[in-house]
Amino acid sequence: MDLMTDLRALVEEALPAQLPGARVAPDEDEILVPLPDGRARVSLAPLLRRCRDEPRQIWPHLLADWLADLRGQLPPSVAADEAGPIPLDRLRLRLTPGADAESSGFLALPFGDHFTAAVVVDRPGRLDLLTLTQAEQLGREPDELVRLAVRQTVQHELATLDVRDHELPAGGSVRLLAADGNPYVTTALMSVPRFLPEAGEYGALVAAPRYSAVLLHQVGADLRDTAVAFDRVTRSMFDAADDRCTDRIFWWHDRVFHPVRVLPGTDGGPAELRVPPALAPLADRLGL
């Protein structure tokens, strides 16, 4: 698919929560926004220019910023939240790729350099990002709302995950945390030691190819070979998913997510594992 096709699909998914009543035009690369005296057509071209040269995993945050700017230009009756009251017991925390949460207009905060922890309202059939305005109207401090969302996510969404170990083609195993239709499984990355207690001195490889599935693997001396297999499994799950999160893999160490890359070998040679400079001493100790 081309970039605009992918972007249209992303916008279509986001509109019910972020701009209720708006929809993607079937015949043009525009969204149709209802107004008191008709409707407005808003081109998606500026959004495409913002996203074109950026990694796909941060597109949702660029889209959120763009929609926030758009809402600011609309009459109050259109921009106002029409979703109804916010039930506190439906607050959840969702971990999403990217970490540019500060200007989004929603109750969200960076989780490290590569993820954002966003408070959402779990409504029937959809998730609504909790806006800062809504958070203020609830009469609770933002930190209190975040803690409540975390607690309810752990209690109601992560307590019954299917946790299984699967063999990798190159040997070793990968731990799969999954729950079909559960959009909060990625939040388990906030508690890696809970789900992979054996991750010790060298940490773990982690991936979140789907919002409903997370992969974990204890790092050891076989890191190069297992990283190649781990990367393939991650990309395969990402490509087949209808709830894609990110196809990147990370080396989690000392509670920090470090992105790593697997590059094809040259001239038929073995694949190359690229690790960030911060992990070079650890990689040397593993003989990489």
Among candidate residues 77, 110, 82, the one with its CA nearest the CA of residue 15: 82
Question: Over its length of 288 residues, how does the chain's per-residue pLDDT go in tens digits?
Answer: 588 999 998 998 888 767 767 889 887 899 988 766 667 889 999 999 989 888 888 898 889 888 887 877 776 545 444 455 789 999 999 998 876 544 456 788 889 989 989 898 898 777 777 878 788 889 899 999 999 999 999 999 999 999 999 988 767 789 999 999 999 999 999 999 999 998 878 999 999 999 999 999 999 888 888 899 999 999 999 999 888 899 999 999 999 999 999 888 776 677 788 889 999 898 888 877
Q: Which of 171, 274, 254, 157 is nearest to 214 (CA)?
A: 157
Q: Say how many C-beta atoms besides its own lie within 10 A of residue 274's C-beta.
A: 11
Count the alpha carbons within 13 Å of 56 in the hemisphere toward its beta carbon.
16
What pTM, to 2 d.p., does this model score? 0.72
